């Protein structure tokens, strides 16, 4: 296999993986959050190397702030009025 063809396959695979990740984040945000949490918990164990622990902290989903009354998007509060 030529180098150019191999490079083309690598680029196509990367594009497919990125697009699959975007679709997962948009269509299944809860599942992505759980998966990120599970991966991060496995990496931040004390017996892991320091760079793996740092990667786990970076992968970990942001902490949710208490859930709010509806358990939704945490953007409660007065909205700014639209200017016409």
Contact 34, 42 (CB under 8 A): no
Per-residue pLDDT reduced to its tens digit, 23-59: 999 999 999 999 999 999 999 999 999 999 999 999 9
- Give the start-to-end residue ranges of the domains of the chain: 29-61
Instruction: Please state, as a whole number, how many other Cβ atoms lie within 10 Å of the Cβ of residue 26.
Output: 9
pTM summary value: 0.58
Nearest Cα to 60, choosing from 49, 72, 44, 77? Answer: 44
Average pLDDT, the chain: 85
């Amino acid at each position: 296999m030529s180098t150019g063809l191999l490079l083309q396959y690598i680029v196509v695979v990367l594009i497919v993986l990125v697009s699959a990740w975007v679709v997962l984040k948009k269509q299944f945000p809860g599942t992505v959050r759980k998966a990120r949490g599970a991966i991060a918990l496995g990496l931040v164990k004390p017996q892991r190397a320091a760079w793996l622990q740092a990667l786990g902290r970076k992968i970990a989903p942001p902490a949710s702030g208490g859930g709010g009354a509806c358990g939704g998007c945490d953007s409660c509060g007065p909205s700014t009025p639209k200017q016409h």
